[in-house]
Amino acid sequence: TFWSYVGLARVYLAQTKWYEAKKILEECQKRFSDNSYLVYLLGRTYVALQDNAKALDFFTRAIDQKLPEPEAYYDRAHLYDEVLRDKEKALADYERYRTLGGKKSAEAFVRINALKNSGYDF
């Protein structure tokens, strides 16, 4: 079933076996329809594999597919913030994440303040 693939991929992700997780998630994507959570997990996997362009694409797709959890906003904001140095997009995603009540809202608040109070633009 769909969730068996996702469960196995999550085990691989927890064990930092990124390539194994990627293979399982891609197989799941072939067999089942594109699910927002599956797309989000692919984004997390590509972050771990340091393929930021693919990770960004998957996080954006998860958001576009209305992933119920706000975590894709946080992870995409982190990419914009730390990797791509796009201050405005990072701020927008961190703020949206906080609005949605994400689990790391306090951390997002700190990042928002740091971005707003930085003396330079990226």
Whole-number Cα distances in Å, 77 to 1, 12, 55, 64, 82: 32, 24, 12, 15, 8
Distance CA 46, CA 53 (A): 8
Q: Which amino acid would we find at residue 67?
A: L
pTM of the model: 0.89
- pLDDT, tens digit, for every residue of 14-44? 999 999 999 999 999 999 877 999 999 999 9
Closest CA to 72 of 63, 83, 81: 63
Of 86, 84, 81, the residue nearest 108 (C-alpha) = 81
pLDDT 10s digits, 56-94: 999 999 999 999 999 999 999 999 999 999 999 999 999
Residue 121 reports pLDDT greater than 60 = no
